[in-house]
Structure 1
Amino acid sequence: MLTTGCVTYKSDIYSFGVVLFEILCGREAYEAKRYLAPLAKYHYENKTLQDIIHPDLWNQILSPESHMRYSKTAYSCLNAVPSDRPYIDDIVLELEKALELQLRHEDIVRLFLFTSYAHYIFHCF
């Protein structure tokens, strides 16, 4: 859209990538006189995304695997070459996998916490 002035399926994919990064980072697409898309691309490429993710959100990210899959998907939507951007079906599959990884990780954490608590109770009483 920026280069051609036309809205296309692939420009919608780019916009969706921006929305994904807004969710991940807890930032608006344009904030403090900076656009999020180039900022997110820069930090993704330099493996420093945590620098632009709101600290409260960063502390909630439990699964590194889920975070990696999600951010890779968002990044792929921002490809400068429209034809190299993924199709929405592929994006949905990747986001579903990221969610599955996150839920699995949360289950493991809950199980660990429950087991630790049960162990504590058993030994204290």
Structure 2
Amino acid sequence: MKNYVLLAFLFSFLTNLMFSQTTKLNTEIGDVFVIGDVKNNNYKSIDFPRANFIIKKGGLVNYDDLKGEKVEITSIKEAKDGSVIATIMLASKKKFFNSHKYVKVNINEALNNKELLRI
């Protein structure tokens, strides 16, 4: 009987230890990041609108103006695949490309690819 209790305790301890090692990203609504510099304006994790949609809304497609801009997280959602999708806006309350107020971003990938930088 002692062996079963010890085995159950050991199993639960190891299970808890294994699940406690998973890391969660510590981002919250209101966190501020800086848009990083990417070669050839190839932002993969930040879902900027395509150029024709920017132009249709009266904006100018200029990625150089975005580099170094501070952005603020307005909402966070977790996708079915486990990725964290956030909606960001410029901290200066202006619009991206003078046409879009909000943009979606995959936070985990953007931080790993240095498209977003923590302040």
Greater C-alpha radius of gyration: 2
Same fold (TM over 0.5): no
User: When you count helix as a share of all residues, which structure comes out higher?
Assistant: 1
Q: Normalization by structure 2: what TM-score?
A: 0.27
User: When you count strand as a share of all residues, which structure comes out higher?
Assistant: 2
